[in-house]
């Protein structure tokens, strides 16, 4: 069932970063991952509230230290009004008590803030773990068509770099922003409670700060989004170069490869420099505005206190209140600067979140229908009924293909490159869907059964064999995870792989390199065949699985296949004459259609398209074999 729409087929992942998205929607998605740990978030908020309150409370204590002990003012001293009449020693003792209170407030606030940091990270790591698991599960749900449209390195960048960016931000940055917002709220309330006119005067630069923060953060967000996109391109180029290093060296294209990587890396550098320029420019602007606010408080409040008269319509305040307001303004400006700077970092995390959620929102090309049922055990009758299929809309690869493969038959599929052979075998396990017609197995339309139950009864051995970085034993056991060691060895013997495996340094426990590095192509195919043997499928699909082994080994494998394929239906994209000779029927495919069908001898007798292919490709092989 082909599905389109936003996030569906035909949309490249790296295009997602070109359109701005709502920050609120991304943050809401983040919260959905934090929701199971709401109690930790609630505890974090409570700790931050207490810690911030304790730290902000130091401002009035400093003001009282001035009014009660440093520049005694009985009218403003509410801690120890008689302090003005005390001698110097008594005033020092009182000042010492306030210093001790300040030290206690600072220490307690710092400890509680550290505990809040730990609690938030505890919840954040669990949320990030779930994001990674959901992303990893999603890449296994997406259809093969998705991977033909998107680079592997770009996808990997989302799971690694973008998740790391979120991880780095969710700790210190998010905690600092939450703490800063609470500090702003508490400080603003205390300022208004202390003296409304001077509070409003102190906050007069706030609109400018808000505008600067909004402007710079918006620019930084766009730059960080671009940076995340360019990093994906860098990773994609790196992954491709590593995978194709043999071809690069074989054709002496090292310089061209390096130049391509240099251009991608330069684009990534430029994006990061642009993001850093907005990030670094914001803090000086806010700091300058903060000093302006302090200057206003010092000039207006200081003159009022020294002259004992109101200025600019404000009431007369004490010198201690002026000092307290300086602390308030610093306490107020500090989180604004901190939030503004960290907010640009959060923009990077949001950009990374957009990319990750963009991947999670990708709709697979193929999904089980709501009423899909498990495919029961099959005998292996496969029928194509007027099948049309395409990789790209409007460009059919198969055009009205019809044939029937009875249980136990071997069907060889031959034809020139691009004829549609691979599409035929891809439709059987439903890696792609038909656009018209239907494919049935034992009468069941493959679109009406669950993909898992369908593919569990089909074995596939491809010409380009993939082996995992694991032991030989586990690579074969991948065909059936509950198989015993004895069953694995029996499958390897049937696939003629046992002898060379036994000669490996640690036998079946030898750990293979990436993609089976250290083994020949033929040996890798033998292991892949053993894997398929172990799976014991009712339908077997072979993309000429014996094309990379020598003639002697091929004959041994072919005899093993005679036993393996008994009672099973097999489809083989054939490149060797021996496979075609043994087939029950041969399908000659040209231009997306079956132009001829029959046995090898029947098609030769027709002296048509198959005969022309045989004389150009297979006759020389037959002569050499003779």
Would you state the pLDDT for residue 393?
82
Tokens representing 323? 């000092």
Give Cβ neighbours of residue 559 (< 8 Å, ≥ 6 apart).
none
Give Cβ neighbours of residue 574 (< 8 Å, ≥ 6 apart).
412, 413, 414, 544, 580, 583, 586
- At 429, give phi and psi (nearest 5°): -85, 5
Would you state the pLDDT for residue 72?
66
| CB-based contact 501:492 (threshold 8 Å) | yes
Taking CA 188 as the corner, what is the angle to CA 186 and CA 192, rounded to the nearest 5 degrees?
120
Would you state the pLDDT for residue 94?
75
pLDDT tens-place string over residues 260-269 = 777 877 877 7
Domains, the chain, ordered by start:
13-239+271-360 (1.20.1560.10), 369-457+539-626 (3.40.50.300), 465-536 (3.40.50.300)
Q: Is this prediction's pTM over 0.75?
A: no
Nearest to 381 by CA among 427, 441, 430: 441
pLDDT tens-place string over residues 567-610 = 789 898 876 666 688 788 999 999 899 999 999 889 989 988 88
569-573: strand order across its sheet: 458-461, 539-542, 569-573, 410-414, 585-590, 593-598
CA dihedral (86, 88, 89, 93) positive or negative: positive
Query: Mean pLDDT in runs of 10 for the chain (626 residues)?
Result: 35 41 72 84 85 78 73 66 61 79 85 84 82 81 68 66 69 69 78 77 78 74 71 68 61 70 78 72 75 77 69 62 74 73 69 78 78 90 93 88 91 87 90 91 92 86 76 86 88 83 86 72 80 85 65 63 72 75 88 91 89 74 54
Would you state the pLDDT for residue 388?
94
Tokens representing 397? 């690869």
Chain centre distance of CA 124:
16
Strand partners, 392: 395
CA 304/CA 296 separation, integer angstroms? 12
Would you state the pLDDT for residue 11?
40
Would you state the pLDDT for residue 22?
63
Would you state the pLDDT for residue 413?
92
CA 335/CA 565 separation, integer angstroms? 72
* Integer angstrom CA distances of residue 279 from 24, 284, 345: 21, 10, 8
**Burial zone of 306 (CB within 10 Å; 0-12 exposed, 13-18 middle, 19+ buried):** exposed
Would you state the pLDDT for residue 622?
57
Would you state the pLDDT for residue 428?
92
């Amino acid at each position: 069932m082909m599905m389109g729409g936003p996030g569906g087929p035909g949309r490249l992942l790296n295009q997602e970063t070109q359109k701005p998205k709502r920050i609120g929607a991304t943050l809401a998605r983040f919260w959905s991952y934090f929701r199971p740990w709401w109690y930790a978030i609630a505890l974090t908020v409570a700790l931050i509230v207490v810690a911030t309150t304790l730290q902000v409370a130091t401002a009035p204590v400093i003001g009282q230290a001035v009014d009660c002990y440093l520049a005694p003012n009985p009218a403003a001293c509410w801690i120890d009004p008689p302090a003005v009449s005390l001698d110097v020693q008594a005033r020092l003792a009182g000042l010492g008590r306030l210093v001790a209170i300040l030290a206690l407030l600072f220490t307690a606030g710092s400890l509680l803030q550290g505990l809040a940091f730990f609690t938030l990270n505890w919840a954040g790591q669990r949320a990030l773990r779930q994001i990674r698991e959901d992303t990893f599960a999603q890449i296994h749900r997406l259809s093969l068509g998705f991977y033909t449209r998107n680079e592997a390195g770009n996808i990997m960048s989302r799971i690694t770099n973008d998740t790391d960016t979120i991880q780095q931000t969710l700790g210190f940055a998010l905690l600092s922003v939450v703490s800063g917002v609470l500090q702003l709220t508490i400080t603003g309330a205390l300022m208004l409670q202390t003296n409304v006119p001077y509070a409003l005067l102190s906050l007069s630069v706030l609109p400018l700060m808000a505008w600067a923060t909004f402007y710079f953060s918006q620019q930084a967000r766009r730059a960080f989004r671009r940076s995340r996109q360019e990093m994906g391109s860098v990773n994609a180029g790196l992954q491709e170069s590593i995978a194709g290093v043999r071809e690069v060296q074989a054709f002496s294209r090292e310089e061209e490869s390096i130049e391509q990587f240099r251009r991608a890396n330069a684009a990534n550098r430029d994006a990061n420099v642009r993001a850093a320029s907005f990030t670094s420019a914001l803090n000086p602007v806010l700091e300058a505005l903060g000093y302006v606010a302090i200057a206003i408080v010092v000039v207006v409040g200081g003159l009022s206190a020294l002259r004992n008269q109101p200025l600019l319509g404000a009431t007369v305040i004490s010198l201690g209140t002026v000092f307290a307001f300086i602390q308030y303004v610093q306490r107020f400006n500090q989180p604004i600067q901190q939030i503004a700077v960290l907010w640009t970092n959060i923009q990077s995390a949001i950009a990374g979140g957009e990319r990750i959620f963009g991947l999670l929102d990708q709709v697979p090309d193929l999904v089980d229908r709501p009423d899909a049922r498990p495919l029961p055990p099959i005998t292996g009758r496969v029928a194509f009924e007027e099948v049309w299929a395409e990789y790209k809309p409007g460009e059919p690869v198969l055009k009205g293909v019809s044939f029937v493969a009875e249980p136990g038959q071997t069907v060889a599929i031959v034809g020139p490159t691009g004829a549609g052979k691979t599409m035929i075998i891809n439709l059987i396990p439903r890696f792609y869907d038909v656009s018209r017609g239907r494919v049935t197995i034992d009468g069941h339309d493959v679109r009406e059964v669950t993909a898992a139950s369908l593919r569990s009864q089909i074995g596939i051995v491809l010409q380009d064999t993939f082996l995992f970085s694991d032991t030989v034993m586990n690579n074969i056991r991948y065909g059936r995870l509950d198989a015993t060691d004895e069953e694995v060895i029996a499958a390897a013997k049937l696939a003629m792989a046992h002898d060379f495996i036994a000669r490996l340094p640690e036998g079946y426990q030898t750990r293979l390199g990436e993609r089976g590095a250290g083994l020949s192509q033929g040996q890798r195919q033998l292991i892949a065949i053993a894997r398929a043997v172990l799976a014991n499928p009712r339908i077997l699909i072979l993309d000429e699985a014996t094309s990379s082994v020598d003639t002697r080994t091929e004959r041994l494998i072919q005899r093993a296949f005679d036993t393996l394929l008994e009672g099973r239906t097999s489809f083989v994209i054939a490149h060797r004459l021996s496979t075609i000779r043994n087939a029950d029927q041969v399908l000659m495919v040209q231009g997306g259609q079956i132009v001829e069908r029959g046995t090898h001898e029947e098609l030769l007798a027709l002296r048509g398209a198959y005969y022309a292919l045989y004389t150009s490709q297979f006759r020389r092989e037959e002569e050499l074999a003779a």
